[in-house]
Structure 1
Amino acid sequence: MKATLKALSALLTYPTAEFQAEASAMQNAIEAEGVLPPAVRGGIVRLLAEIADGDIYDLQERYVLLFDRTRSLSLHLFEHVHGESRDRGQAMVDLAELYRRHGLEPSTSELPDFVPLFLEFLSAIPEDEARRTLAETVHILAALRQRLEKRRSAYADVFAALEILSEEKPDAKILGAILEAPDDDPNDLAALDAAWKEEEVRFGSDADAGCGTEGLASRIRAGRRPAPGVRSPEPRRPTVTHTSPTRT
């Protein structure tokens, strides 16, 4: 599963010429591992070929429209579940600490809940633990898949693959709540400005409500500010440093 997670992580990063050159190796690694069923594996292979052979500027523009300019398709996990901004800050700290306990020091250029970074982390830990941790986010992954399917985007296959790897069905109540949120049109700039408008940060006796030591799933309640000391990501073209999925 390690090589497949690495390849899926790379697929969700901003397209580059370097990635295009590695697409064939990623395809070989996914096919060699064989952890995805043929239908889903075929979708991933088609997306890899599409990126490998596509015009890099068109690919980059598509990526920005989908994942940078569409909040409902944000690749930051904690963006998709409602809650207080303080809750998200604590969840960021907890997730970063989980990375550190496994020997991964998160880069200061990206928030810990960025999906490619999360998948890179999962590829570095034991498979059983990786599946359990991935399963705790399956409702978010399913929502992203459904929204991308509605747009007929080939990226939907990446999230379908992640659902399968998690070996878990999404919680219908949580999934329904996520899907009830507005699904942005990246071409409606006025609506996007309103959607991304910074909300008030709450202080007081209830500011820490819900911040405990429970599992990742119960802490995925979105605010919009990172915790103190956790830097905000660049608004465009997030990057994750990947090792080759063909290496062990």
Structure 2
Amino acid sequence: MGFFSSPQRPAVHTLRVLAHLLRYPTAELREHAGELREALRAEAALPATRLTELDALLVHLSQQPALDVEADYVELFDRGRSTALHLFEHVLGDSRDRGPAMIDLIQTYEKAGLFFGPTELPDHLSVLLEFASTQPAAVAREFLGESAHIVRVIFSALQKRQSPYASVLAAVLEIAGEKAEPVPVAADPGIDESWAEPAVFGGCSTEGQAKPGQPQPIRIVKAATGRHPSPPSGAQA
């Protein structure tokens, strides 16, 4: 059996379960963990080993204390750059190109009849999975394949941290027709570095400031530039 259960439709229920797993672990999600497990097993769109891993994740989410599960999610996805689930963060960062890319992606969803609330962001991986679940198999596979290089980075970062959430990203890759193979991942910057405010006039030296009215030496510092994976083509993430 292939990864898609129908030549006309993708693994609808599987994609939606994966989308739920990548959202904040609410009480409702934990309450319905058993139903999500049953949906994955019934559709059988993933290999048995992957289903076993997802079973274990759902059991973990439903049985561990709520505060622990929620804190783990925040620490993993909201405070780790390499594990961020907003895909444009990996390819565009905070650049001005991110806004137009968001608009293009929203328009892609709207053409399919899907609309966003004012607080939602279209590049979150769970949203892409929900959209893919509404599309024909070939379209969904191609759409997810466009972002497979980013998903693989997140999968690798989660696997490096030995997180059970790595199985969710592996499942996404497999549904997209890709292999869940790890790639090298750069270490995230320390929390102090990532949250540090830029120094005021950071390129200027204070040497000679004790002599007012005299020319003051200035050092020009070239700004460091980061390197990101190539962005996906088109409006898709």
Whether 1:66 aligns to 2:81 is no
- Name the amino acid aligned to 1:191: E
Structure 2 equivalent of residue 183 of structure 1: 188
Residues 1:149 and 2:154 aligned together: no
Once the two structures are TM-superposed, the CA of residue 14 in structure 1 deviates from its matched residue by 0.7
C-alpha deviation, 1:84, in angstroms: 7.6
> Any unmatched runs of 5+ in structure 2?
1-10, 199-230
Contact kept? 2:17, 2:40, Cα under 8 Å: yes
Q: What TM-score results when the alignment is normalised by the length of structure 1?
A: 0.72
Instruction: Provide closer, same or farther for how the CA distance between residues 84 and 25 of structure 1 changes in structure 2, counting only shifts above 3 A.
Output: closer
SS at match of 1:72: coil
1:47 maps onto 2:94 in alignment: no
Distance in 2, matches of 1:153 and 1:220, equals: 30
Distance 1:104 1:137 in 2: 20
Over aligned residue pairs, what C-alpha RMSD do you find?
A: 2.6
String of CA shifts for 1:125-171, please: whole Å, max 9, x gaps: 22221111000000111111111111100000000000000003599
Q: Which residue of 1 aligns with 2:150?
A: 140
Counterpart code for 2:100: Q
Structure 1 equivalent of residue 104 of structure 2: 94
Q: Cα deviation per residue 1:33-86 (whole Å; 9 max; x = unaligned)?
A: 111001111111110111011111000000000011112211100111257823
Match 2:40 to one of 30, 34, 53: 30
State the number of aligned residues.
195
Equivalences for residues 1-248 of structure 1 within 5 A: 1-82=11-92, 85-168=95-178, 179-180=185-186, 182-184=187-189, 188-194=190-196, 217-218=232-233
In the alignment, structure 1 segments of 5+ residues that lack a partner are 198-215, 223-248
Contact residue 105 and residue 235 of structure 2 kept, 8 A: no
Structure-2 change in CA distance of 1:106 and 1:17 (3 Å)? same
Assess if the C-alpha contact under 8 Å between 1:15 and 1:63 holds in 2: yes
Relative to 1, partners in 2 of residues 1:99 and 1:221: Cα closer, same or farther, differing over 3 Å?
A: closer
For the 8 Å contact 1:123–1:130, the answer to whether it is kept is yes
TM-score norm. by structure 2 comes to 0.75
Q: CA deviation at 1:119?
A: 1.1
The change in CA–CA distance for 1:169 and 1:37 in structure 2 (over 3 A counts) is closer
Cα distance, 1:88 vs structure 2: 1.9
Spell out, residue by residue over 1:98-142, the C-alpha distance to the aligned partner (whole angstroms, 9 max, x if none).
Answer: 000000002221211011111111112222211110000001111
**Which amino acid in the other structure matches residue 183 of structure 1?**
D
Q: Which amino acid is 1:132 matched to?
A: E
Give the structure, 1 or 2, with the largest relative contact order (CA under 8 Å, sep 6 or more).
1
| Alignment-mate amino acid for residue 22 of structure 1 | H
Name the aligned partner's letter for residue 188 of structure 2: D
Give the stretch that moved more between structures: 70-79 or 85-94.
85-94
Tell me the distance in 2 between the aligned counterparts of 1:157 and 1:9. 13
Match of 1:237 in 2: none
- Larger Cα Rg: Structure 1 or Structure 2? 2
